[in-house]
Amino acid sequence: MRAIFSRLKRSLSRFFSRVRFAIAGEVSQYFVGCDLGKKVDYSAVALVAKRAKVAKLTFIKRFPLETPYASVIGFIKILSVRFNPEQILVDQTGVGEYVVEDMKSAGLPNVEGLMLTMQTKEEILGYLKQQMQNCVEQCGNQKCNHPRLFQIPYDNEVIAEINLEKFELTKDGHIKFSHPEGTHDDRLWGVALAVYASRESEAPAFISIRKR
């Protein structure tokens, strides 16, 4: 009887070590996007998990107005310890480099600050749209039923912000982004930055946005 138990224990432990091995081969990579708000804007932090080319919004937090940057940094630090993100991409437009410097000195690894200009906005939102439209099979049919490369599993507020963003073609052929007065786009930018951080560096950013 004891022999049977010990055999069973051995085979179970072999089984679990194989399971652990299989899971280890398919771990998600995590990416953080952070939009820092000023007085009238919210700060938002998004976490995206990516596994086998498919990225999913795992988590989004919007902070109350006038939350000190130190609290936002503290929160990202907690996220960072838990998920060990590959990159933390922060919009430093208007707040200056010092917030990103503070993040680095708070011990956050892989922090990168970004200035949102007309051109970088176009690239980042273009990448988000592309990942939301294209399917994992890359079959080319935008109406197919394949899963999309970026998925927002639950958050209706994020989807609403994405739909509110207006795209306007300028005379010089660029796309200008704006959102209606009284609305915010902080969550959109948190998500867009996290998704942009998750892009494969070898894949050229391909932009396909149509004027609407």
* Site membership for Zn ion, residue 53 (CB under 5 A): no
Q: Output the six-digit token pair for 89.
A: 């991409």
Q: Output the six-digit token pair for 124.
A: 């980042």
- Given the rule CB under 5 A, which of 102-110, 117-125, 132-140, 193-201 is the region that contacts Zn ion? 132-140
Paired strand residues for 127: none
* Site membership for Zn ion, residue 146 (CB under 5 A): yes
Nearest CB to Zn ion, comparing residues 32 and 149: 149
Backbone φ and ψ of 97, nearest 5°: -70, -15
Q: Find out whether 49 and 198 touch, Cβ atoms under 8 Å.
A: no
* Site membership for Zn ion, residue 169 (CB under 5 A): no
Q: Where are the beta strands (DSSP E) in the chain?
A: 29-35, 44-51, 54-62, 87-91, 111-114, 150-151, 166-169, 175-178
Nearest CB to Zn ion, comparing residues 58 and 151: 151
Q: How far is the CB of 129 from Zn ion (least distance, A)?
A: 16
- Given the rule CB under 5 A, which of 62-70, 91-99, 143-151, 161-169 is the region that contacts Zn ion? 143-151
Q: Find out whether 75 and 91 touch, Cβ atoms under 8 Å.
A: no
Near Zn ion in 15-44, by CB under 5 A: none
- Given the rule CB under 5 A, which of 129-137, 147-155, 167-175, 185-193 is the region that contacts Zn ion? 129-137
Q: Which residues bind Zn ion (CB under 5 A)?
A: 135, 137, 139, 144, 146
